[in-house]
Amino acid sequence: MSMLHRAVAGLLSCALLASPLAAQKAAVPPKPLPSAAGYKPQDKLEEGLWFEMDEQERLLKQSKFLVTDPGLNAYVKGVLCRTVGQERCSATRLYIVRTPYFNASMAPNGTTIVYTGLLLRMRNEAELAAVLGHEYTHFEQRHTLRLFKDIRAKTDALSWLSFIPIPYVGMLSQIALIGGIYAFSRDMEREADAGSLNELARAGYDPMQASAIWEQLGAEQDATAKVRGHKSQKDKNGGMFATHPKSTERMQTLREKAAAFALAEPGATRAAEYRAALKDWWPTLIDDQIKLQDFGGTEYLLATLAGPDPAGWTPELLYARGELYRSRGQAGDFEQAVAAYQAAIEAGQRLGGGAIPETWRGLGLAQLRLGQTAAGKAALRDYLAKKPNADDALLLSSMAQGA
């Protein structure tokens, strides 16, 4: 989470979020729940928090990062409402933000933020529902409020008020810090895990989908760290991947609890519906991911999305693999990229849907880097024939001239 790191850098106060909270004991939340219709803050602290969050939400509505596509918003909000039910869903307002990291958050006032990076990483609707159900439990159980109470108890009174407006970092990072996936304690995570399983089962989703997500997230962070040669960040915040209990134990618990739901009929994953809803956005989301230049994490992610069956490598995923290798450009990478682009074109022909035009662009550029001049220029001309009005058409045609 480089955004989180960016925000954490130089912010002494953020250390407050991380360490002491791990030891926090879950308290029995008082009634009524924030999900109830007409709920109002119960004390001064909660009022202050709502005040801040309402202001952040006002800014969020004007953000250039907001994804305003009504179709995508309606779909994701629909999944949330299907998961927690229409009535409880009405306590929330959903915002999708263009940020290529795995994160989602729900603020105490019901502001719900979903990062586009989360949408890229989910393989089906049930996985998205599991994350939303998980975050909803944090919201309904007022976990963020408890974090703030804890901070206030351990530091000067009201000092949290001064740490909310972090200059220059931006409100998205702030919200991610305050109520994002990485903020909560282990007890809160257990509670949210259990909550998400209940929501999934009640909504008719397959509860088994919940455990895979968190495993995937941890493994992706390991993969990023391995290639970059630093320690994995997954254990950094104490909550999500705390070493005690080990995250593997947590996944095991999730699987066992999920299996215990004796559903009348098998839970749905709604993979086809998910793919259809994301179809128009997918090229943008994968492009944002590749441009992070996180080779290890992205390679892991592509393999996860493809799944164990080689047929899972769609023309789009093969194209993305080509872009990933071409973008890194180390020894052997252009050969790998050419192979991936060619496989994408072949798979497109075999499946009938074709490959996206940019596949020929990538192929031509990778071949040029390998000194395969004639083939590279031919591929660029193929691309320009498919996309004569591309933004870089002038430059490419100057590069494609001659045999």
Partner 1 sequence: MKTLKLAFAALALAPFAAPVPAAAQIVLSNPWKLVRAGEARKVGKSDLQVTAVGDWNRATERQTKESENWTQNGIGLDDLGFYAAVKKGEALFHQRDKKKDPLPKFDPAMLPTDIVEWFENSARNALGSAVFEVGAVRPAKLAGADGVEMDFSYATEGDNLERKGTARAAVIGQKLYLISFDAPKIHYYDEGLPSALAIMNTARIVK
The residue ranges that bind partner 1 (CB under 8 A) are 2-3, 5-6, 9-10, 59, 62-65, 98-100, 116, 167-173, 228-230, 233, 288, 291-293, 327, 329, 365, 368-369, 391-392, 394-396, 398-399
Q: How far is the CB of 201 from partner 1 (least distance, A)?
A: 35
Q: How far is the CB of 2 from partner 1 (least distance, A)?
A: 5
* Closer of 82 and 377 to partner 1 (Cβ): 377
Q: What token pair was written down for 227?
A: 């290639």
* Closer of 2 and 19 to partner 1 (Cβ): 2
* Closer of 270 and 361 to partner 1 (Cβ): 361
* Closer of 137 and 174 to partner 1 (Cβ): 174
Helix 315-328 to helix 282-290 angle, to the nearest 10 degrees? 20
Q: How far is the CB of 149 from partner 1 (least distance, A)?
A: 27
Q: How far is the CB of 309 from partner 1 (least distance, A)?
A: 30
* Closer of 93 and 369 to partner 1 (Cβ): 369
* Closer of 67 and 130 to partner 1 (Cβ): 67
Q: Which of 66, 87, 92 is nearest to 77 (CA)?
A: 92
Q: Which of 11, 99, 118, 24 is nearest to 60 (CA)?
A: 99
Torsion of CA 32, 33, 39, 40, to 10 degrees: 80
What is the C-alpha to C-alpha distance for residues 225 and 300, in angstroms, rounded to an integer? 12
Q: How far is the CB of 12 from partner 1 (least distance, A)?
A: 12
Q: How far is the CB of 9 from partner 1 (least distance, A)?
A: 7
What is the C-alpha to C-alpha distance for residues 381 and 375, in angstroms, rounded to an integer? 10
Q: What token pair was written down for 182?
A: 């990485």
Q: How far is the CB of 183 from partner 1 (least distance, A)?
A: 18
What is the C-alpha to C-alpha distance for residues 139 and 261, in angstroms, rounded to an integer? 24
List Cβ neighbours of 316 (8 Å cut-off, separation of 6 or more).
282, 283, 286, 344, 355, 356
* Closer of 94 and 286 to partner 1 (Cβ): 286
What is the C-alpha to C-alpha distance for residues 83 and 267, in angstroms, rounded to an integer? 12
